[in-house]
Amino acid sequence: MAVEETGGTGVRSSVPARPGRPPGAAADRPARSVPRHVACVMDGNGRWAARRSLPRTSGHLAAETTVIDVIEAARTAGVEWLSLYAFSTENWRRPSDEIDFLMRLVRRVVRKHAPLLHARGIRCRFLGVADPRIPAPLARDFTDLMTLTGSNRGMTLTIAFDHGGRRDIVEAARSLIRSGVPADAVDEWHFAAHLPFPDTPDVDLVIRTSGEQRISNFMLWQVAYAEWVFPPVLWPDFRAPHFVECLRAYRQRERRFGGVTPYANGEPHP
């Protein structure tokens, strides 16, 4: 038996209906040389443009090449899940002309690259809500791409668009209350099962470009035990070799998930 939950875009996904730790929780998985789930905060488009005395929109345009390069690099490296932070709930505060440009740009990118993503066997998802401020044609393109690629069994690509980690947690709490789960029965698994796309595993590695070191309300539940890398490269200049270097940094980390690792003499590592 499975519990079906609705993601922010209205697409339903399933998780096993049983108590215990949340499905895919990082502490339940053995160490991997390649992170199963990589998430990217695509930061630095505006600064990239400003350094060239260009409008901010030029930075967003230049970022398209990076997005495709990183998707291919992740797929080639064996990453199973890739999540990209494209537009946050806070980004609605930006100037209206920049928001309008972003909406048009994202629609063009989605329509242009949908055939390639499908041909690569990539399953695409959009993590966000059906916000009325998102143009209806773009919302339809999101749905069409998820439908087109929904049966693919390659890497899962999640685009976080109009996403906010706090909002996801609040909505999960509301869903949990509506489901009638008794308070004493609520645990991490029950809660995670009410998040959008509950089959998504915890994030193993977060890459935030441009050198900034903030979470920025991104997948707050899923990044609880993630490793973080902060390359100084601005997102439009970030390429496959930079991505591979971040994977190399991840391999050098020791992930203990709150436990200890013994020294060679059997003493516990602090």
Catalytic residues: 43, 91
H-type helices in the chain, by residue range? 45-50, 56-77, 96-119, 136-149, 165-179, 188-192, 240-251
Nearest to 26 by CA among 34, 14, 35: 35
In the sheet that 205-208 helps form, which strands lie side by side, from edge to edge?
123-127, 156-163, 81-88, 37-41, 205-208, 227-229
Nearest to 32 by CA among 255, 246, 207: 255
* One-letter amino acid for residue 212 of the chain: E
Token representation of residue 18: 């049983």
Give, as one character, the DSSP assignment of residue 236: G
For the purposes of burial, counting CB atoms within 10 Å of the CB of 154, is it exposed (0-12), middle (13-18) or buried (19 or more)? Answer: middle
Over the range 79-104, which residues count as b (16 or more CB within 10 Å of their CB) and which as e? bbbbbbbbbbbebeeeeeeeeebbbe
CB of 31 closer than 8 Å to CB of 255: yes
CB of 37 closer than 8 Å to CB of 79: yes
CB of 66 closer than 8 Å to CB of 42: yes
Nearest to 146 by CA among 7, 40, 18, 5: 7
Q: Pairing between strand 227-229 and 205-208?
A: parallel
